[in-house]
């Protein structure tokens, strides 16, 4: 890997997005901000659906990993929801957004022929939450880094992200650093965004949720995609009931794992098979097997 580069400001893009320039930025700093990724109507409708869902239970989405330190990482004052396609149907168009999926596929093309949803997560950092520790999303797996990402993430702001309410800290260029090296504090910047904007970054970029020192929550969706042969953090087979999976568009079903990964380009095999064949057939069959 190359030597780390001096900090650059995260590039901002306005619609219509210049995806070639965004791809270049992924190979440079490793993160970008897409302004107005969601329309006001999309964002308002989604926030209303989330409000309704969360109104049902105060304990909903609290960390429950069984590990004190992992719960601290998840945030004891942070609400996290998985299984969004079942809980919040309006996320379907976002998780399956072809621009996002194509970006993920291109960014990981050196490693994978297709991608999976790694996790679709609501992250609502509530007041008083301290800053999350700095990490790489790729830390979830014991896979050495070699400069070609196998996971990417899109953090979509559903509230304005400010320095005070927990805007994500990112260190542009840090994907080049060897695992044991950490950037200096001044190499980090916060992804200050308007609600509806999205922070896109490669999963080997160092980042972390900020502290929420305000009196209001900071809400976001984190939609991460991983190489199609990797075991995702979120178990979508368990989180999305079969009937709901059957109702989804085929390309979203594929993101959940109802598609095989063909590794022949890397002299590898097919993985994710159902009865030695295409896993999409499982959803087509009428009976639960
Ligand atoms: O919510 C954020 O700003 C970042 C969260 C994050 O990086 C994580 O939970 O892994």
Residue 214 burial (10 A CB sphere; 0-12, 13-18, 19+): middle
Tokens 């990417």 correspond to 152
Q: How large a percentage of the chain has pLDDT more than 90?
A: 89
Among 207, 218, 220, 232, name the best residue to mutate to test ligand 1's pocket (greatest count of ligand atoms within 8 A of Cβ): 207
Ligand 1 mean position, distance from CA 169 (Å): 9
Using pLDDT thresholds of 50, 70 and 90, give the confidence band for residue 285: confident
Q: Which of 4, 8, 13 is nearest to 32 (CA)?
A: 13
3-class SS of residue 153: strand
Specify whether the CB–CB gap between 102 and 17 falls below 8 A: no
What is the reported pLDDT for 61? 82
Please indicate whether residue 208, judged by its CB atom, sits closer than 6 Å to ligand 1: yes
Using pLDDT thresholds of 50, 70 and 90, give the confidence band for residue 222: very high
Mind listing the pLDDT tens digit for each residue in 53-112?
999 775 678 888 888 888 889 999 999 999 999 999 999 999 999 999 999 999 999 999
Give yes or no for residue 5 having a pLDDT over 70: no
What is the reported pLDDT for 3? 38
What is the reported pLDDT for 16? 98
Mind listing the pLDDT tens digit for each residue in 146-193?
999 999 999 999 999 999 999 999 999 999 999 999 999 999 999 999
Q: How large a percentage of the chain has pLDDT more than 70?
A: 95
Give yes or no for residue 286 having a pLDDT over 70: no
What is the reported pLDDT for 234? 98
Atom of ligand 1 nearest to the CA of 191: 3
Contacts of 220 by beta carbon, 8 Å cutoff, 6+ apart: 122, 123, 124, 155, 156, 157, 158, 159, 161
Ligand 1 mean position, distance from CA 273 (Å): 32
- The phi and psi torsions of 30 (rounded to 5 degrees) equal 95, 5
Q: Tokens standing for 101? A: 């999926």
Please indicate whether residue 123, judged by its CB atom, sits closer than 6 Å to ligand 1: yes
C-alpha count within 13 angstroms, C-beta hemisphere, residue 24: 8
Q: Is 284 left (phi over 0), alpha (psi -120 to 50) or beta?
A: alpha
What is the reported pLDDT for 86? 97
What is the reported pLDDT for 62? 81
What is the reported pLDDT for 108? 98
What is the reported pLDDT for 8? 65
Hey, where are the domains in the chain?
A: 12-234
Q: Tell me if the pTM is above 0.75.
A: yes
Please indicate whether residue 207, judged by its CB atom, sits closer than 6 Å to ligand 1: yes
Please indicate whether residue 94, judged by its CB atom, sits closer than 6 Å to ligand 1: no
- Look at 4-18, 159-173, 260-274 and tell me which has the smallest mean pLDDT: 4-18
For all residues of the chain together, what is the average pLDDT?
94
Give yes or no for residue 123 having a pLDDT over 90: yes
- The phi and psi torsions of 97 (rounded to 5 degrees) equal -55, 120
43, 191, 200, 218 from 157: Cα distances, Å: 9, 10, 11, 8
What is the reported pLDDT for 144? 96
Please indicate whether residue 140, judged by its CB atom, sits closer than 6 Å to ligand 1: no
The alpha carbon of residue 156 and the mean position of all alpha carbons in its chain are separated, in whole angstroms, by: 9
What is the reported pLDDT for 65? 84
3-class SS of residue 189: strand
Please indicate whether residue 209, judged by its CB atom, sits closer than 6 Å to ligand 1: yes
Ligand 1 mean position, distance from CA 208 (Å): 5
Ligand 1 mean position, distance from CA 260 (Å): 29
Rounded CA separation 201/30 (Å): 6
Please indicate whether residue 220, judged by its CB atom, sits closer than 6 Å to ligand 1: yes
Among 222, 223, 234, name the best residue to mutate to test ligand 1's pocket (greatest count of ligand atoms within 8 A of Cβ): 222
| Domain 12-234: CATH class, spelled out | mainly beta
Question: Nearest C-alpha to atom 5 of ligand 1 is from which residue?
Answer: 209
Average pLDDT over residues 3-19: 79
């Amino acid at each position: 890997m190359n030597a780390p580069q001096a900090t650059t400001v995260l590039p901002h893009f306005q619609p219509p997005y210049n995806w070639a320039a965004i791809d270049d930025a992924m190979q440079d700093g490793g993160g970008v901000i897409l302004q107005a990724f969601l329309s006001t109507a999309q964002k308002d409708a989604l926030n209303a659906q989330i409000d309704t869902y969360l109104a049902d239970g105060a304990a909903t989405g609290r960390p429950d990993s069984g590990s004190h330190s992992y719960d601290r990482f998840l945030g004891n004052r942070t609400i996290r929801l998985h299984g969004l396609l079942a809980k919040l149907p309006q996320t379907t168009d976002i998780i399956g957004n072809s621009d996002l999926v194509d970006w993920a596929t291109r960014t990981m093309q050196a490693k994978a022929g297709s991608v999976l949803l790694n996790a679709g997560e609501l992250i609502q950092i509530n007041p008083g939450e301290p800053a999350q520790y700095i990490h790489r999303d790729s830390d979830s797996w014991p896979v050495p880094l070699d400069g070609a990402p196998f996971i990417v993430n899109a953090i979509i702001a559903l509230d304005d992200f400010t320095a005070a309410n927990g805007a994500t800290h990112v260190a542009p260029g840090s994907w080049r650093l060897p695992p044991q090296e950490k950037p200096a504090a001044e190499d980090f910047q916060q992804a200050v965004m308007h609600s509806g904007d999205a922070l896109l970054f490669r999963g080997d970029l160092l980042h972390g949720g900020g502290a929420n020192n305000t009196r209001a929550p900071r809400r976001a969706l984190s939609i991460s995609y991983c190489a199609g042969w990797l075991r995702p953090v979120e178990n979508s087979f368990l989180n999305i009931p079969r009937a709901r999976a059957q109702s989804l568009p085929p390309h979203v079903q594929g993101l959940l794992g109802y598609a095989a990964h063909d590794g022949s380009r890397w002299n590898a095999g097919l993985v994710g098979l159902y009865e030695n064949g295409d896993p999409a057939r499982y959803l087509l069959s009428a009976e639960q097997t």
